[in-house]
Amino acid sequence: MQPSDPVRQQAMSVLTASFMAQGHPDTYAQHMAAATIFQADLELRNAQMARLLSWLKQEHAEVYEAAIKLVEDTRIEFERRLQS
């Protein structure tokens, strides 16, 4: 998380306070808030990728298959690095 991003800082503060109000210890609440923000970021990235691929398929079918292959190759490369 970028410390200079005021929106993320505010979200982190609000979420941490919310988790602490639920009775979670300060450090645990901070980790829970960071995980919540991270999950939201992942969901946003997935939605962006799905929309981009859908747009490519409709508007630029000639590059859609290459884009799908690039996405799949990236997944394979990432999994390979994780297993190393």
In the predicted model, is pLDDT for residue 6 greater than 80? yes
pTM: 0.75
Task: Supply 65's token pair.
Answer: 């298959």
Where do the domains of the chain lie? 6-83
Task: Supply 68's token pair.
Answer: 């799908």
Each residue's pLDDT tens digit, 24-63:
999 999 999 999 999 999 999 999 999 999 999 999 999 9
DSSP the chain: --TT-HHHHHHHHHHHHHHHHTT--HHHHHHHHHHHHHHHHHHHHHHHHHHHHHHHHHH-HHHHHHHHHHHHHHHHHHHHHHH-
